Structure 1
Amino acid sequence: MGLAPLWRLRSSPKADVVPEPRPAGHRAEVVPATRHARVDPAGQISTPKPQERPVVQRPAPAPVTEKSAPPARAPAPASPQQTTPDPLRSARIAGLDWAGLEDEIRACRACRLCEKRRQAVPGVGDRSASWMLVGEGPGADEDRLGEPFVGQAGKLLDNMLGALGMTRAHQVFIANAVKCRPPHNRTPEADEIAACLPFLQRQIELVQPGLLIALGRPAAQALLDTGISIGAARGKRFERQGVPVVVTYHPAYLLRNPQDKGKAWEDLCFARGLVSPE
């Protein structure tokens, strides 16, 4: 009859509507409802129901418990605390006599050196000496016996003083910049020297020496409040609150470097030229 075929869609509510006639020669374009549509023998188009995709059940996340929680980061190691000078502590130490000062030194816990010591080492010698020698800090023997310079370095120091006609019991008082042994005989830190400085200052005030001799760099740092080189400071006269200061090598250094014993002897002779022992 010249009419295009009638298509009825089951699922379309407008399936009974007859399409308008097309002009002659026009070729109808049949567009299936879906690419999976089928035509039955009666000319009806059937579209299969879309297949439902299976729903994948994903397990719910496990609750976070103490065991499953991520491990907490360990706190960063604290840097060593710097010792802040305590004016009240310094003022209290400045008023102590010999007995009170040594008791304070032995009970001191102002810096970390107290944690590893066996005992503090206040000092030894003539408390009215004209020469006061200041070393670095106690070693293993000093920490065990409670007296400064009792090992091989002490024997060398006694021999050098003996050559000048002096002993630690007469004309000489010996102390250290720090009163507790640094672990493994390491060099004292600046804050450790600062924590012990009120003790050293009070010892100087009680002895009232005519001359101070710094044995090694840490001792020179404590007495002069500055970092210096021993080689550059030798043969020079320094002062601490009006008291002459001479800088020389530590006896322990001389045991490792015996070629410098002659230089240390020159330094002691230079000191004797400044203040003769009485």
Structure 2
Amino acid sequence: MSRTVTKQRKMITTAAAWTIGLIIFFPIYWTILTSFKTEAQAINDPPLFFAFDWTLENYALVQERSDYMKFLWNSVIIAGGSTILGILVAIPAAWSMAFVPSKRTKDVLLWMLSTKMLPAVGVLYPISLIFVQFDLLDTRGGLVVVLMLINLPIIVWMLYTYFKEIPGEILEAARMDGATLKEEILYVLTPMAIPGIASTILLNFILAWNEAFWTLNLTAANAAPLTAFIASYSSPEGLFFAKLSAASTMAITPILILGWFSQKQLVRGLTFGAVK
């Protein structure tokens, strides 16, 4: 029996959702707004919301000072490469945990998730030594592998959850029809879990795109992504808020556009299997 939702409750819920959404979006809005101000207007007290001279000077200066397209291309390769590699590793791992369960499956999943609780700085020194030993410092390939390993626990956990919602009888029927393990994963399991896989890809891409700690510590110039591009506007002389805001806006714009156009797929994937 469905619960009746009163008009008053619906209005309160809608107002609360809009309030929370605006609070979350405000920092992004303020960053974009500040990017069109002069440095003096950016630190004005009280803050200027609309009554200021709009200018594109900050974007022009950022373009002159930095090779934005190089940083953007590095971000695309690093985030995209780590996501693709992570999915290729995670799908077989999640399949084995979901459909070939053992007494240790839950323990392994919890152990994998526990690695995300370790402070990144705790393993910075050994990873840096490995990078030096194999000449991987300031290389996109090295960052692809590191970011893949960092986000792999989340990818496996999400895919495992989605795969568990798929009836095992379907896979058994495919085996009875003579499907090999490869065909079972490629032609039966993967198409049925496309919403979940798509949301996992999107989430992992966003996490890799926004990763700052490893990109700042393992790159210098050649493989530096947009996170390093933003950090370059923090100088010993102080923060130049207008230019920093322009650089931040240029860095987050691609991922905002991606998120906007893929929000339906992301929501569909994150709720995959929630309703039966």
Superposition TM-score, scaled by structure 1 size: 0.25
Q: Which structure has the greater CA radius of gyration?
A: 1
More strand by share: 1
More helix by share: 2
Higher relative CO (CA 8 A, sep ≥ 6), structure 1 or 2?
A: 2
